[in-house]
């Protein structure tokens, strides 16, 4: 009896198994088509609205995150906003007197506009190379001589100017350099010129050599003679 029951159980397991169903003429294609039809059934208006609302919410969240990241960047680069605490409060320094304000978005935008207007005013005062070769010099206080040089930019130009100043036993205490469109402008504050006006004339002669000729460094001293 026990053997009979075991045999019947094995028989049922075989005929209920996936192998038997695939080997038999079981209508798998019909089931697959039915499943695809059900899964691709058009969604209702309520479901479409729900999906659209979810997508809109995710897009809005990403947009707000991007905006907040930009404000955080401004908080760290604006010179007058100094982080004081971790709880979004800060000090906005106006002149020498700090005023405690919150770094809310309106304050950050106001400070950004202020800095941009300041930069806009400072642009005309920036030095730019002229399109004509020129060399000027003027005496300043404490024995300083301000020298301005405009010429074509080229490799080795900075070293040539440095050697020209060194050739008259002077030294540069401050320098500004701008290169735009193949042109270069040097503004040098030179100290230590010997022999007064004669030293200045020697400096001008050496700089004119640099300005008008693409000087080769190994022959620099020979060209100055």
Domain boundaries of the chain, sorted by first residue: 48-123, 134-224
**Distance set, CA 42 to CA 25, 39, 46 (Å):** 32, 9, 12
Length of the chain: 225
Quick one: pLDDT at residue 219? 44
Q: What is the mean pLDDT of residues 23-29?
A: 56
Nearest Cα neighbor of 220 from 177, 152, 161, 172 is 161
Quick one: pLDDT at residue 184? 92
Q: Give the percent of the chain with pLDDT over 70.
A: 63
CA distance linking residue 172 with residue 145, whole number of Å: 10
Higher pLDDT, 83 or 27: 27
Picking from 37-46, 136-145, 183-192, which range would have the lowest pLDDT averaged per residue? 37-46
Nearest Cα neighbor of 173 from 165, 185, 164, 183 is 165
Quick one: pLDDT at residue 27? 57
Cα torsion angle, 95, 100, 106, 109, sign: positive
What rounded mean pLDDT belongs to the chain? Answer: 74
Q: What is the mean pLDDT of residues 52-81?
A: 87
Two tokens, residue 31: 């089931």
Q: What is the mean pLDDT of residues 161-169?
A: 90
What topology does CATH give the domain 134-224?
Answer: Alpha-Beta Plaits (3.30.70)
35: pLDDT strictly greater than 80: no
Instruction: Identify the bridge partners of residue 139 per DSSP, sorted by sequence position.
Output: 145
What pLDDT, in 10s, does the model give residues 68-110? 998 888 888 876 765 433 344 444 444 444 444 457 888 888 8
**Distance set, CA 28 to CA 21, 33, 161, 189 (Å):** 9, 9, 88, 91
54: pLDDT strictly greater than 50: yes
What is the model's pTM? 0.43
**Distance set, CA 59 to CA 50, 157, 172 (Å):** 14, 54, 57
Higher pLDDT, 194 or 36: 194
Quick one: pLDDT at residue 13? 54
What pLDDT, in 10s, does the model give residues 113-127? 888 888 888 777 667
Q: What is the mean pLDDT of residues 164-193?
A: 89
């Amino acid at each position: 009896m026990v053997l009979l029951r075991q045999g019947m159980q094995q028989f049922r397991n075989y005929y209920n198994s996936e192998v038997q169903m695939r080997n038999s003429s079981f209508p798998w294609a019909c089931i697959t088509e039915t499943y695809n039809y059900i899964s691709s059934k058009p969604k209702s208006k309520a479901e479409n609205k729900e999906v659209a609302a979810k997508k809109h919410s995710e897009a809005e969240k990403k947009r707000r995150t991007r905006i907040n990241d930009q404000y955080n960047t401004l908080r760290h680069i604006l010179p007058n906003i100094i982080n004081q605490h971790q709880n979004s409060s800060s000090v906005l320094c106006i002149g020498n007197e700090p005023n405690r304000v919150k770094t809310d978005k309106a304050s950050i935008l106001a400070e950004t506009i202020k800095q941009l207007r300041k930069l806009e005013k400072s642009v005309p005062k920036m030095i730019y190379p002229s399109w004509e070769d020129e060399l000027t010099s003027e005496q300043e206080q404490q024995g300083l001589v301000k020298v301005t040089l405009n010429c074509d930019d080229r490799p080795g130009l900075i070293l040539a100017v440095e050697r020209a100043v060194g050739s008259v036993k002077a030294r540069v205490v401050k320098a500004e350099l701008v290169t735009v469109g193949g042109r270069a402008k040097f503004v040098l504050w030179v100290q230590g010129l010997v022999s007064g006006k004669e030293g200045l004339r020697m400096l001008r002669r050496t700089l004119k050599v640099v300005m008008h000729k693409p000087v080769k460094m190994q022959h620099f001293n020979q060209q100055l003679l």
